[in-house]
Structure 1
Amino acid sequence: MANSLSTALSKAISRSITRREWLNYSSALLAGSAFAAPLAQASQAHRLGNELRIVIPANPGGGWDQTGRALGAALTSSGMVDKVVYENIGGKGGTIGLADYTKRYGSDPNSLLIGGMVMVGALALNKASAELNQVQTLARMTSDYLVVAVPADSSIRSPKDLAKAMRENLPEVAIAGGSAGGVDHMYAGMLARVSKANAEQLQYKPFPGGNEVLQSLLQKQVQVGISGYSELREALQSGKLRALGVSSRRSMFGIPSMRDQGLDAEMSNWRAVMTGKNVAPERAKQMLAAIEFASNQDSWKQSLASNSWNASWMTGKALHDFMEIETSTAQLMTYLLKLKS
């Protein structure tokens, strides 16, 4: 996977207010200085109106749903909008929601779409990556890593046990994860490949959200599950599930990395916010400015902490280049890992 890139915040917002200026204004406001008026005027300039729709191309309860609702809460609490309406459209890694969004809201200046690597992967799997051209990606907001987990009483007790089981009889190791083609699916294929198993025999069971992955594990419908930490955290902490490892380079969440335990499989997930292709450039800039402002407020920071997400802000040309790299990566991995829908 491509490494995360860092970039300066977009300066193409009205009045050219930068992140540093926002922070200066915020500090001054808390101190009761004369900067309070410019800050209030700036935030008012980027208000998005009375009502905003956030379309979440997944079922309630998963990572995209959590991200969309956290963003909506930050936008309302920061005064960027009075009310947010949420619309969940699940299925096929966000591709159903993407198609519905572009059809109904492609020109709507009061709607946003949540997306991310799962959607990029699902489109690559279906040879439909060009559909991403129907939306404008405004900002990448978060990134996180995947947890590989098993039922607490599973005979698979370590990454080496998993590799042995996959190598000896991959069809008997059913793996649950998010939608076909998404980051969980790619990671399952990567695990099979580094285990020296025949990836074409991978038994991957796609689910529309992290909650369904969790239930399939708890009900022992599958042997292994792959999902974000926030979606498995309670079951892990209660002892109902056992974590084998995390997909990061080093340990996270108190869980050793798969890489440090002998399986060199590293992969990250990310989530972004988008709007319709036909939304006017000035409105898109205003949306970006409002999202940027909201992402610097306590509400969003608390969501990052409570969900164990990493802040991963990226926009502008760096984001455009990143999206091109991720799309190409997803297409290549789908081919190399022989992923099937």
Structure 2
Amino acid sequence: MPIKKRDFIAGAAATLLMAASIGTASAQMELKILAPAAPGGGWDGTARAMQQVLTATGIGKSVQVNNIPGAGGAIGLAQFVNTAKGDPNQIMVNGFVMVGSLITNKSPVNLGMVTPIARITAEAEVIVVPATSPIKDAKDLVAAMKADLAKVTFAGGSAGGVDHILAGLLAGTVGLDGSKVNYVPFSGGGEALAAMLSGRVTAGISGWGEFEGQIKAGKLRAIALATPDRLKDNPTPTLKEQGINLELINWRSVMAAPGITADQKKAISDVIDKMVKSKEWKEVLVQRGWDDAYLPEPAFGEFLKTEQVRVEAVLKSVGLVK
């Protein structure tokens, strides 16, 4: 039976409308981003930067951020594993810190229980002291550690995370016992900052972006970066410049829920890919002092496996894990 022209046009229009609807739905996902830490820290900052960019670019239709702090991200990860299974609209921010804390805390959940999407940023680790501290540089800090390691207190993120590892490696590099470092973990950068500003700890360790505002305001003194080279337009010397052969870089990533389909994983991966390639995201990187460390699947999954082995070896080397 012949198809009338008007029927063909109507059918084609309906098909195009349906395709547009599907395209819009896939391009504008309604996302819930879990930041497994308290407000004010690196994961929270990353999640909210993602929320800002995804919303501003229209890549995300609506984007919510939920904070679940505790145990270096293990509590948030456990809830994500248990409640987000099969949900393609839920993602989680994590990174180096979680890799270390899960090992240190002997967590019953692990990163093999969720779906890897991509590594998105890297950030320089910085050691700071209150502006009123007599410690002026890394050499002064090391001298204080050698005089009485127990009296030198470090504030940072979760036990076993990148900040803790840097403190342990610093002690080990200068001939001290890394397992005996007096380290005070906090669930968020805001709490660590408060401890720094109140003078309750000797020094603080975190990503540059978390302390940058207080450094520029003159309330904190940056004494060393754990980077291979100095940051652009940043006068803070590296540990290596000060005779301490040590460097350590933090990274952050995005994971999706367990039990999603291959198509759902691709849809989330496409959203993150569009985000990291947007000019809005590149502006955020500059504003926050983050490096573009984008590594999508499947390379990210392989990196994650290798990194877990490497971090466990480092934790053992400084006595944080038996």
TM-score, structure 1 length as denominator? 0.84
1:124 aligns with one of 78, 98, 103: 103
Q: Secondary structure of 1:139's match?
A: strand
Contact 2:155–2:201 (Cα < 8 Å) also in 1: yes
AA aligned opposite 1:271: R
CA displacement at 1:44 relative to structure 2: 3.9
CA separation in 1, counterparts of 2:28 and 2:256?
13
CA displacement at 1:299 relative to structure 2: 2.1
CA separation in 2, counterparts of 1:130 and 1:99?
6
Q: Secondary structure of 2:222's match?
A: strand
After TM superposition, the structure 1 = structure 2 runs for residues 5-24 of structure 1, keeping only pairs within 5 Å, are none
| Equivalent position of 2:202 in the other structure | 223
CA separation in 1, counterparts of 2:36 and 2:296?
21
The sequence identity of aligned pairs, in percent, is 37
CA separation in 2, counterparts of 1:186 and 1:42?
46
AA aligned opposite 1:47: A
Contact 1:106–1:275 (Cα < 8 Å) also in 2: no
Contact 1:129–1:327 (Cα < 8 Å) also in 2: no
Could you say if the C-alpha distance between residues 145 and 213 of structure 1 is closer, same or farther in structure 2, counting changes exceeding 3 Å? same
| Equivalent position of 2:291 in the other structure | 310
CA separation in 1, counterparts of 2:35 and 2:134?
37
CA displacement at 1:135 relative to structure 2: 0.5
CA separation in 2, counterparts of 1:294 and 1:319?
17
After TM superposition, the structure 1 = structure 2 runs for residues 72-87 of structure 1, keeping only pairs within 5 Å, are 72-87=51-66
| Equivalent position of 1:203 in the other structure | 182
Could you say if the C-alpha distance between residues 336 and 82 of structure 1 is closer, same or farther in structure 2, counting changes exceeding 3 Å? same
Please say which of residues 82-91 and 293-302 is displaced more in the overlay.
293-302
CA distances 1:272-303 after superposition (whole Å, capped 9, x unpaired): 01111201110110110111112222221121
| Structure 1: tracts of 5 or more residues without a match | 1-39
1:161 aligns with one of 140, 156, 162: 140
1:110 aligns with one of 89, 102, 121: 89
Answering whether residue 270 of structure 2 is matched by residue 270 of structure 1, we say no
AA aligned opposite 2:304: M
CA separation in 1, counterparts of 2:132 and 2:293?
36
Answering whether residue 27 of structure 2 is matched by residue 47 of structure 1, we say yes
2:270 aligns with one of 289, 294, 298: 289
Contact 1:64–1:114 (Cα < 8 Å) also in 2: yes
| Structure 2: tracts of 5 or more residues without a match | 1-19
AA aligned opposite 2:99: V
CA separation in 2, counterparts of 1:323 and 1:275?
14
Size of the aligned set, in residue pairs, is 301
CA displacement at 1:41 relative to structure 2: 10
CA separation in 2, counterparts of 1:74 and 1:327?
30
AA aligned opposite 1:80: I
CA RMSD of aligned residues (A): 1.9
Q: Secondary structure of 2:228's match?
A: coil
